[in-house]
């Protein structure tokens, strides 16, 4: 395959692999790829290389939120260790001490719509930004600050760095109602965008970080939210999660990701460039070792599974694959 054709495949299937909002797979024109297409292919290559190298993944979790000022104040006390840790607000004012918590409670209670002591509406969201042990905590905090400026603009929030545990992390408490009156309501797509933004800000400070979906990584964990685990322990859980439906969706997403990997591997393996063939070998090893490929996706791939199982010798010598390239019908 020519370099242009390989770049076309990388964009065609890489966008599907790394950007889940792009659901359609369309054939790309092959006569000429413009500068934008080459840039897109370069970005996809970087993401592929980072994924197969298993670059540390960011974690962004919504761990709960207060439905009244009493619950919000309790979370302020918890994340600040009752005022012993520095608390930074959305104006980048940094303070500590017990009086800080009382002051923040008064500010949040009376700014915008009044927040009653007890309520039924979610008035704040608790967000945690985390990275694996060994990450520079100071740089993580700077990246979290930049993340909040982008994703939480217009909202009151406070942030506290925790570096006394194994994984350094930042706690953010965000007021649900913005100054404009619009309310925050993070969905799954929002959380993925938040992960992408946080990873980008970390990379800006020289920290290797990725925000790749579980399906793309070939993982199949379905961790329960922290609030559900706590409710289960306290005996307050009234409804069990719809695990069967979630597992089915995860299985389909995993199989789709394996198909995308197969097409990318096939294109790189047929390249005349040794670097491409080396990347194909690493992709094959990465995917074959993934839980999703071992458990479910290999059975659903059908003929495409052979693309990932291509012998290393064939990739090394750039031998063309005989399996036809197929479009995935939706």
For the chain, the three-class secondary structure string (H helix, E strand, C coil) is CCHHHHHHHHHHHHHHHHCCCCCCCCCCCCCCCCHHHHHHHHHHHHHHHHHHCCCCECEEEEEECCCCHHHHHHHHHHHCCCCCCCEEECCCCEECCHHHHHHHHHHHHHCCCCCCCCCCCCCEEEEEEECCCCCCHHHHHHHHHHHHHHHCCCCCEEEEEECCCCCCEEEEEEECECCCCCECCCCHHHHHHHHHHHHHHHHHCCCCCECCCHHHHCCCCCCCCHHHHHHHHHCCCCCCCCHHHHHHHHHHHHHHHHHHHHHHHHHHHCCCCHHHHHHHHHHHHHHHCCHHHHHHHHHHHHHHHHHHCCCHHHHHCCCCCCCCCCCCCC
Query: Which structural domains are found in the chain, ordered by start?
Result: 3-55+246-316 (no CATH), 59-209 (3.30.930.30)
**CA distance linking residue 134 with residue 191, whole number of Å:** 24
Alpha carbon distances (Å) from 126 to 72, 143, 149: 9, 18, 16
- Residues 40-59: tens digit of each pLDDT: 999 999 999 999 999 999 99
What is the predicted pLDDT for the residue at 128? 97
What is the predicted pLDDT for the residue at 21? 60
**CA distance linking residue 159 with residue 162, whole number of Å:** 10
**CA distance linking residue 87 with residue 37, whole number of Å:** 44
- Residues 166-194: tens digit of each pLDDT: 899 999 999 999 999 999 999 888 999 99
Q: Are 197 and 148 spatial neighbours (Cβ–Cβ below 8 Å)?
A: no
- Residues 81-106: tens digit of each pLDDT: 999 999 999 999 999 998 999 999 99
33 phi and psi, to 5 degrees?
A: -105, 130
The torsion defined by the Cα of 185, 191, 192 and 196, in degrees rounded to 10, comes to 110
What is the predicted pLDDT for the residue at 317? 36
Min mean pLDDT across 16-25, 263-272, 279-288 is at: 16-25
- Residues 103-133: tens digit of each pLDDT: 999 999 998 889 999 988 999 999 999 999 9
Angle, helices 188-204/137-151, rounded to nearest 10 degrees: 130
- In the chain, pLDDT over 90 holds for what percent of residues? 58
């Amino acid at each position: 395959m020519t370099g242009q054709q390989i770049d076309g495949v990388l964009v065609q299937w890489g966008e599907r692999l790394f950007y889940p909002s792009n659901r359609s797979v369309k054939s790309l024109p092959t006569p000429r790829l413009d500068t934008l297409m080459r840039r897109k292919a370069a970005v996809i290559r970087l993401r592929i290389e980072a994924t197969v190298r298993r670059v540390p993944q960011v974690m962004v979790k919504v761990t709960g939120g207060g439905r009244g000022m009493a619950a919000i104040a309790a979370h302020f006390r918890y994340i600040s260790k009752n005022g012993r840790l520095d608390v930074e607000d959305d104006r980048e004012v940094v303070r500590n001490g017990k009086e800080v918590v009382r002051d923040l409670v008064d500010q949040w209670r009376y700014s915008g719509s009044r927040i009653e002591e007890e309520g039924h509406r979610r008035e704040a969201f608790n967000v945690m930004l985390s990275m694996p042990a060994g990450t520079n905590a100071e740089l993580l905090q700077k990246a979290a600050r930049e993340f909040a400026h982008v994703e939480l603009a217009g909202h009151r929030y406070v942030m506290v760095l925790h570096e006394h545990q194994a994984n350094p992390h930042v706690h953010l408490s965000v007021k649900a109602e913005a100054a404009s009156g619009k309310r925050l309501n993070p969905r799954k797509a929002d959380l993925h965008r938040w992960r992408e933004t946080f990873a980008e800000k970390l990379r800006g400070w020289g920290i290797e970080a990725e925000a790749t979906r579980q399906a793309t990584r070939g993982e199949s964990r379905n961790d329960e939210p922290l609030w559900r685990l706590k409710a289960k322990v306290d005996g307050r859980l009234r409804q069990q999660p719809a695990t069967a439906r979630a597992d089915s969706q995860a299985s389909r997403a995993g199989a789709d990701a394996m198909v995308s990997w197969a097409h990318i591997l096939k294109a790189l393996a047929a390249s005349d460039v040794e670097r491409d063939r080396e990347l194909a070998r690493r992709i094959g090893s990465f995917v074959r070792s993934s839980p999703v490929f071992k458990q479910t996706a290999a059975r659903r791939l059908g003929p495409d599974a052979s693309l990932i199982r291509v012998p290393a010798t064939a990739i090394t010598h750039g031998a063309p694959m005989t399996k036809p390239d197929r479009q995935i019908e939706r």
